[in-house]
Chain A
Amino acid sequence: MSTIHLHGLVKKFGDFAALKTMDLDIADGEFMALLGPSGCGKTTTMNMIAGMTEPTGGRILFGARDMAGVPMGRRGVGFVFQNYAIFTHMTVRENLAYGPKMHRAPKREIDRRVQAIAGLLELTPLLDRKADRLSVNILQRVAIGRSAIMEPAIFLLDEPLSNVDAAFRAVMRTELKHLQRAFKQTMVYVTHDQLEAMTMADRIAVMDHGVLQQVGAPLEIYNDPANVFVARFIGAPGMNLLKGKPAASDRGLVVDLGPLGATPPLPTALAAAVSRSNGDVYYGLRPEQTMLLPQGPGIAMPVTFVERIGARTIVHLGGGEAAVKAVCANDVRWVTGEAAFVAPVEQSVRVFDAATGIAIKAE
């Protein structure tokens, strides 16, 4: 059983709390992504799981075994560093063989395992090259191979694709995912790229400023973000959030956005919950679920910028606090300066309490 349990995990550096009370359960064989911006505590959490940093408070358990006091060499975890930490004074072969060699495995077995891993990661022709003269793409595979050869039950990866060029990243994402499935390892993957987390993970733990924001499957988090932070962070681009006050109208409950006017009526189930809340709210619309119409009904906003990025076009509207982005198909042509009407795709609206940032759930 290679489950990981974090109970009330805390890490302080002097007065600075890098991680404030984290509770997380990672299932056996699960691919869990720790997702968040720089400084959110994801790398700190991973370093504690690996044993590289001591927690200030809380417990880490692998299965039923408390890891307190277990040094990092004995936790049986594989670790891929962001900068790979390849032994540059050794060849690829020596790098791969390092783990087994330190555990005094017999030479023949080491050779066999090195051949197997090299074959799997397509490193065979490079085995006798010195590691300091290879491209980052190859180094990344060596880093993975070096840990994978130990067949750890738990595999930790610290932003392993951040130094890799964009094209190769897509290839590596698929490879990593398949490797994880093939070996049935429990994988914990730290990243700041929500696209990576969405495509690879079974579940995502979204973090910000040392606090866990939400844990769930990618689509869960995308469709029902728990708060404003998650709503903005997930999605390319993140959710549009417009501040306003709930107001009654003859067509149902709407959100009064001040100078922008009123939104279309909220879906009934959501309206019921929103009507019970006090104060301002955020009206949330995912750009992919935002329709732009040449005329109403909808929120009138001027087009400020149009980005055509391959398969889709991102239209920027409004500015400052009232900025909205919409993802449109390429055959639609919007021009800067034009006025467009923003309307949601049915049932895709989300509402958040403006004071706490927490999502108001439909009943």
Chain B
Amino acid sequence: MAEIAFRNVTKRYGNTVAVDRASFAVEDNEFFCFFGPPHSGKTTILRLILGLETPDEGEILIGGKPVNGLTPAARNVAMVFQNLALFPHMTAKENIRFPLVERKVAPAQIEKRVAEVAAKLHIAHVWHRHPAQLSGGERQRVAIARALVRDPAAYLMDDPISALDARLREETRVELKRIQRELGKTVVYVTHDQEEAMSVADRMAILEHGQIRQTGTPSDIYDHPESVYVARLIGSPMMNVLPSMRDKGRIVAAGGAIVVSDPDAPVDAVEIGLRPEDVQVSPWRDGAPARPAKVFEVEPLGGYTVVTLDAGQTRLRALLRGQPDIRPEATVAISCRPDRVHYFASSGAALAR
């Protein structure tokens, strides 16, 4: 019974609304991720689940039961904080044991659990050290181990790996997902790194100013964003969102550099969205249906190349595989597959064909 649900929860701090009528449901054994820019309410939602905050309106349910008035201890959820909150006067091992000692679990059980968890997170070899003697990565894993060692209804993680080196982050997020799968636990995870969110989440919720804008699997959200906001937030490099016009059954954008033939395109579309990987770049040939574009910048990433193009008054980016021979100032033609184009109304909402 690990379902966590919010029903129209609102939380205010003075005049600021941190969480605005949020409703969602996290399924049992699901790895659920909250994603959004700073100040969008992600951490507040975690604190509401944990019980460090009380909602001003709405209901919070854990395991089907309303928990609005319950203290954190009574809710049986474990949290890994962003700043880790490790006890500096205890060794790593003592830190990890702490939740179990608090709950008066039998010593033999404690040893067993601690050893299991420490082995899973590869910190058994340093568990006799104090947090001050550990590296940033080791400290992070101790904090995660401390949460893992209990058997709570759900784990809450507030950006637990952001302080690690890029490489270590990539490896740890895979580990976290593996551990979650193995343990079969519900995890609610907050991050501002979209690659991380997409990698670990079974489902995710996108937040803006305390409101949930879209919920779904990462693939859903990536392939079918419901608004310009979500479309821009997910995807790196950012989706190109350009003003567009209808012109005799064709969609035209970027000062004529992009021409899409799509009779099924929605009539009230005012903007189109094209993901950089869907922008096709080819050498310019006279007589092409669209206007030419100029290469502004070429950023070689090794396996991919990001090409920034100037077309009309707009600037857009293309993500090309490999290391194509493209130089700044070159003149190129832009094209794309019609089915890869996203359409948006003036309200910012996505339109279906």
Q: Do A and B come from one complex?
A: yes
B-binding residues in A (CB < 8 A):
37-38, 135, 165-167, 170, 174, 192-195, 198-199, 218-219, 222-223, 233-238, 286-289, 305, 307-312, 316, 327
* A38-B135, A238-B167, A288-B322 as given contacts; A310 in contact with B195, CB under 8 Å: yes
Place the interface of chain B in its size category: 35 or more
Assess the B38–A165 pair: CB atoms within 8 A. Answer: yes
Q: Which residue of B lies closest to A327 (CB)?
A: B303
Kindly report which residue of chain A lies nearest to residue B200, judged by CB atoms: A307
Pairs A–B under 8 Å by Cβ, sample size 16: A166-B192, A170-B236, A194-B166, A198-B300, A286-B302, A286-B303, A288-B304, A305-B177, A309-B198, A309-B199, A310-B195, A310-B235, A310-B236, A311-B235, A311-B275, A312-B277
For the complex, is B170 an interface residue (Cβ under 8 Å from A)?
Answer: yes
Q: 4 smallest A-B Cβ distances: which pairs? A: A288-B303, A222-B302, A311-B277, A199-B299
Residues of chain A lying within 8 A (CB to CB) of residue B167: 37, 192, 233, 238
A195-B166 in contact given A170-B237, A307-B199 (Cβ < 8 Å): yes
Task: Report the Cα distance A193→B195, complex, angstroms.
Answer: 14
B282 contacts the other chain (CB 8 A)? no
Residue-wise, chain B 127-143 has the 8 Å CB interface mask toward A (1 for contact) of: 00000000110000000
B87 at the interface (CB under 8 A from A): no
B234 at interface (Cβ–Cβ under 8 A)?
Answer: yes
Q: Are A305 and B178 in contact (CB under 8 A)?
A: yes
With A198-B300, A198-B302, A305-B178 already in contact, the answer to whether A237 and B170 are too (CB < 8 A) is yes
CB pair B299 A310 closer than 8 Å: no
Provide the bound-state CA to CA distance between A187 and B225, in Å: 39
Q: What chain B residues lie within 8 Å of A288 (beta carbons)?
A: 302-304, 321-322
Closest Cβ–Cβ distance, residue B126 to chain A (whole Å): 15
Q: How far is the CA of A238 from the CA of B303 in the complex (A)?
A: 10
Please classify the interface of chain B as helix (H, G, I), strand (E, B), loop, or mixed, using the class held by over half of its residues. mixed
CB of B301 within 8 A of chain A? yes
Contact of B323 among A174, A219, A307 (CB under 8 A): A219
B198 to A: closest C-beta gap in Å: 5
Find chain A residues with CB under 8 A from B218 CB: 308
Residues of B contacting A235 in the complex (Cβ-Cβ under 8 angstroms): 302-303
The answer to whether A308 touches B237, judged by C-beta atoms less than 8 angstroms apart, is no
| B325-341 vs A, Cβ < 8 Å mask (1 yes, 0 no) | 00000000000000000
Task: Please determine whether B174 and A198 come into contact, CB atoms closer than 8 angstroms.
Answer: no
Query: Quick one: closest B residue to A287, CB to CB?
Result: B303
Residues of B within 8 A of A166 (CB): 192-194, 236
Q: Given A170-B237, A219-B323, A288-B303, check contact A311 B276 (CB 8 Å).
A: yes
Q: Does B306 contact A (CB under 8 A)?
A: yes
Give the docked Cα–Cα distance between A289 and B304 (Å): 11
Residues of B within 8 A of A (CB): 37-38, 135-136, 165-167, 170, 174, 177-178, 192-195, 198-199, 218-219, 222, 233-238, 275-277, 297, 299-304, 306, 319, 321-323
Cα-based distance from A223 to B323 in the complex (angstroms): 10
Closest Cβ–Cβ distance, residue B164 to chain A (whole Å): 9
Cβ A219 vs Cβ B165 within 8 A: no
Contacts of B297 in A (CB 8 A): 174
Tell me the bound Cα distance from A198 to B302 in angstroms.
8
Enumerate chain B residues within 8 angstroms of A195, measured Cβ to Cβ. Answer: 166, 301
CB contacts (< 8 Å) of A327 on chain B: these are 303
Looking at the assembled complex, report how far the CB atom of A82 sits from the nearest CB atom of chain B, in whole angstroms. Answer: 12
Work out how many contacts link A and B, with CB atoms closer than 8 A: 93
Set of chain A residues within 8 Å of B322, measured between Cβ atoms: 288
A194: chain B residues within 8 A (beta carbon): 166
Query: Among the listed A170, A193, A223, A287, which residue makes an inter-chain contact with B166, where contact means beta carbons less than 8 Å apart?
Result: A193
Extra pairs beyond A192-B165, A288-B322, A305-B178 (8, CB < 8 Å): A165-B37, A235-B302, A286-B302, A288-B303, A307-B199, A309-B199, A311-B236, A316-B174
- With beta carbons under 8 angstroms apart, the residue of A165, A192, A234, A305 that contacts B174 is A305
Give the docked Cα–Cα distance between A38 and B166 (Å).
Answer: 10
A289 CA / B306 CA spacing, docked (Å)? 17
Could you tell me the distance between the alpha carbons of A308 and B223 in the complex, rounded to whole angstroms?
Answer: 12
Return chain A residues, CB-CB under 8 Å to B192.
Answer: 165-166
Residues in A neighbouring B276, C-beta threshold 8 A: 311
Q: Tell me, rounded to whole Å, the shortest Cβ–Cβ distance linking B260 to chain A.
A: 20
B174 / chain A contacts, CB cutoff of 8 Å: 305, 307, 316
Residue of B nearest to A306 (CB): B199
| Cβ-closest chain A residue relative to B319 | A311
Q: How far is the CA of A198 from the CA of B306 in the complex (A)?
A: 11
Cα separation A305 to B173 with both chains bound (whole Å): 12
Closest residue of chain B to A218 (Cβ to Cβ) is B300
Does B193 lie within 8 Å of A199, measured CB to CB? no
CA distance A166 to B174 in the complex (A): 19
* A170 to B308 alpha-carbon distance, docked (Å): 13
Asked whether B234 lies within 8 Å of A310 as measured between CB atoms, the reply is yes
Q: A37: which of B165, B219, B302, B306 is its contact (CB, 8 Å)?
A: B165
Chain B residues whose CB sits within 8 angstroms of the CB of A287 once the complex forms: 303
Q: How far is the CA of A102 from the CA of B323 in the complex (A)?
A: 48
Closest CB-CB distance, B123 to chain A, in whole Å?
A: 17
Residue of A nearest to B303 (CB): A288
**Which of A219, A289, A310 has a CB less than 8 Å from the CB of B194?**
A310
* Shortest Cβ distance from residue B4 to the other chain A in the assembled complex, whole angstroms: 24
Q: With a CB–CB cut-off of 8 A, which chain A residues contact B301?
A: 195, 198-199, 218, 236
Collect the chain A residues with CB atoms within 8 Å of residue B234's CB: 310
Chain B residue contacts of A307, Cβ below 8 A: 174, 198-199
Find out whether the CB atom of B166 lies under 8 angstroms from the CB atom of A289: no
Pick from A38, A174, A309 the residue with the most CB of B within 10 Å: A309
Contacts of B299 in A (CB 8 A): 198-199
Nearest chain-B residue to A217 (Cβ)? B300
Question: With A236-B303, A327-B303 as given contacts, are A170 and B238 in contact (CB-CB < 8 Å)?
Answer: yes
| Residues of chain B with a CB closer than 8 A to A234's CB | 302
Q: Tell me, in angstroms, the Cα distance from A286 to B304 when the chains sit together.
A: 12
In the bound complex, residues from chain A placing their C-beta under 8 Å from that of B302 are: 198, 218-219, 222-223, 234-235, 286, 288
Bound state CA distance, A305 and B177, in angstroms? 10
Residue of A nearest to B38 (CB): A165
> In whole angstroms, how far apart are the Cα atoms of A286 and B301 in the complex?
13
